[in-house]
Structure 1
Amino acid sequence: MAGKESSSVPSTPLLKDELDIVIPTIRNLDFLEMWRPFFRPYHLIIVQDGDPTKTIKVPEGFDYELYNRNDINRILGPKANCISFKDSACRCFGYMDPSGKEINALEQHIKNLLSPSTPYFFNTLYDPYQTGADFVRGYPFSLREGAPTAVSHGLWLNIPDYDAPTQLVICDHLGLGVKTGLPYIWHSKASNPFVNLKKEYKGIFWQEELIPFFQSVALPKDCTSVQKCYIELSKQVREKLAKIDPYFTKLADAMVTWIEAWDELNPSGAAAGAANGTAK
């Protein structure tokens, strides 16, 4: 963790009973010791990638659940194929929920989720809702209330993750915002870039068609929830991207399956729209 300002752990943790922290991993979680002051009040959902017979060690004192491939197969049954493995996308199961000084990155993410975003007009002074910042001259007054924040992206300080633009069409359609920036984290990369290249090289070519797809995609007005938007997006992925590679047909199927699995595991929220910053 690195940053310019120190931040103490709040005496009453924000969203303590509403927030889970999802961690995908293929190795022991010794790094949690560095995050103990910030993560200990919260419930952890750990999703193990790789060999399910391998024992992942978690430091004592944390409230957590740990799921591996076998657990996911048992819980989701035939729908388990919607969870991708051998990459960090296995974290998707966790979302279903069954100056060099230290900063509290978790607290910053929570603050991001609890404050508005500015998706409709770019403010050159980031973030206008943070203490000490403000809207710059020329920013429309009619847009200064912002939009509810649905996603908080941090950034790595030493390995900027800027390879491709993020096109979050569902958030745009539903009038939700995304914050990208704070908290900034020093990333100690454990993966092999040459191994990653073998896994990701197709995406380098695919993105030349994917980016225009997301730039032009439109969702109908009757898509009033995240679920409906995602299902509609899956139809367009199948219709317009399947010609690139059979992978996109499989992806479209998995998108539908993921929503079906979500609705099964979260029946009370199946018909609900996206909430501002809800973590569960």
Structure 2
Amino acid sequence: MWRPFFEQYHLIIVQDGDPSKKIRVPDGFDYQLYNRNDVNRILGPKASCISFKDSACRCFGYLVSKKKYIFTIDDDCFVAKDPSGKEINALEQHIKNLLTPSTTHFFNTLYDPYREGADFVRGYPFSLREGAPTAVSHGLWLNIPDYDAPTQLVKPLERNTRYVDAVMTVPKGTLFPMCGMNLAFDRELIGPAMYFGLMGDGQPIGRYDDMWAGWCMKVICDHLGLGVKTGLPYIWHSKASSPFVNLKKEYKGIFWQEKAIPFFQSVSLPKECSSVEKCYLALAGEVKSKLGEVDPYFIKLADAMVTWIEAWNMVNSPGEKPAMTSLPNATSKK
């Protein structure tokens, strides 16, 4: 279903789990396929910041990509249809969202004023109509909702059938639960902040990778004057994961988020933090000093955040060649 939408783009596939397992990619795609052996070979000791046996491993693809725009999607998500029955080109809508400004400082009641057929409503300040550069486009899903385990357990048959034809800016100073199933971002504007944390194998928590990235990213976007949009496009989420397995992964996070969210709501970054990397390192220091009191895991996570920035700078330093060129065991095809 994705072929007509994906075949014109470069794909990066991050294979989680057993690296000896062979994955067959259909013909006709320009892609690079990385497994855990490749991650270890490229990053060396810094590979410790990339999660194993968890969807958080996808951020390795963000690290090695050389493209301006990144679209990330789960393997159980497919092309959705709008109410007229037309297949939705999710990538096209994400790019439209990213290419138009965000209204971070003043809410427009007609939603995104830069969409065709919309504009700023009466009373919207003219001084704010230039908006802010959009760093992140957060899409939604039809069919299986993105619920936590307790909600899954009490609403096992619930499905999202509502298609809302709207895009809106998440206001400055407001956090939101970012889902990595249908997400795009401008790598040049916000790439180093899109770290999905330490999750999965060997860690006490899972299924909070995209949430963690979203909280960090939003604080940094607010500090640097960047915008985040949510709404269109929709994708079709085809299957629900087990609520019992999810509860085992999430249960500490359900408690910890009640401490983490107030932390992100109140944290302040120094004025001298003028780049995403500087902001992220400052945020890592705050995580260690404030959330480290909640659980030692956050000290480990803060250290991994620093390692992530070191890895980002190592792989993306000026003149650095694409990592694939020195990796005979990785798979690349055009």
Instruction: Determine if the TM-score, normalized by the shorter chain, exceeds 0.5.
Output: yes
What is aligned with 1:130?
115
Q: How many Å apart are 1:107 and its aligned residue?
A: 0.8
One-letter amino acid of the structure 1 residue matched with residue 280 of structure 2? Y
What is aligned with 1:117?
102
Q: Which of the residues 263, 268, 272 maps onto 1:222?
A: 272
One-letter amino acid of the structure 2 residue matched with residue 49 of structure 1? D
One-letter amino acid of the structure 2 residue matched with residue 131 of structure 1? E
Aligned residues: 237
4+ aligned runs moved over 6 Å, structure 1: none
Partner secondary structure for residue 267 of structure 1: coil
Q: Distance in 1 between the 2:39 and 2:314 partners?
A: 14
Matches within 5 A, 1:18-97: 34-97=1-64
Moved more, 118-127 or 239-248: 118-127
Structure 1: segments with no counterpart, 5+ residues:
1-33, 271-280
What is aligned with 1:175?
225
Please list the CA deviations of residues 206-251 of structure 1 after superposition, one character each: whole Å capped at 9, or x if unmatched: 1111111111011111100000000000000000001111111111
- TM-score, L = length of structure 1: 0.80
What is aligned with 1:23?
none
Moved more, 125-134 or 135-144: 135-144
Please list the CA deviations of residues 124-161 of structure 1 after superposition, one character each: whole Å capped at 9, or x if unmatched: 32221110122223322221111001111111123444
Residues 1:266 and 2:316 are matched in the alignment: yes
Residues 1:145 and 2:156 are matched in the alignment: no
Q: Distance in 2 between the 1:67 and 1:93 partners?
A: 9
Q: Distance in 2 between the 1:85 and 1:193 partners?
A: 21
- TM-score, L = length of structure 2: 0.67
C-alpha contact 2:144 2:240 (8 A) present in aligned 1: no
Q: How many Å apart are 1:190 and its aligned residue?
A: 5.3
Larger relative contact order, structure 1 or 2 (CA cutoff 8 Å, min sep 6): 2
C-alpha contact 1:238 1:248 (8 A) present in aligned 2: yes
What is aligned with 1:208?
258
Output the aligned Cα RMSD: 1.8
What is aligned with 1:165?
176
Query: Structure 1 residues 152 and 193 mapped into 2: Cα distance closer, same or farther (>3 Å)?
Result: same
Partner secondary structure for residue 268 of structure 1: coil
One-letter amino acid of the structure 1 residue matched with residue 62 of structure 2? Y
Q: How high is the sequence identity, in percent, across the aligned residues?
A: 80
Query: Structure 1 residues 161 and 269 mapped into 2: Cα distance closer, same or farther (>3 Å)?
Result: farther
Moved more, 244-253 or 184-193: 184-193
One-letter amino acid of the structure 2 residue matched with residue 244 of structure 1? V
Structure 2: segments with no counterpart, 5+ residues:
66-82, 149-174, 178-214, 321-334
Q: Distance in 2 between the 1:131 and 1:90 partners?
A: 37
One-letter amino acid of the structure 1 residue matched with residue 24 of structure 2? K
C-alpha contact 2:49 2:307 (8 A) present in aligned 1: yes
C-alpha contact 1:155 1:161 (8 A) present in aligned 2: no
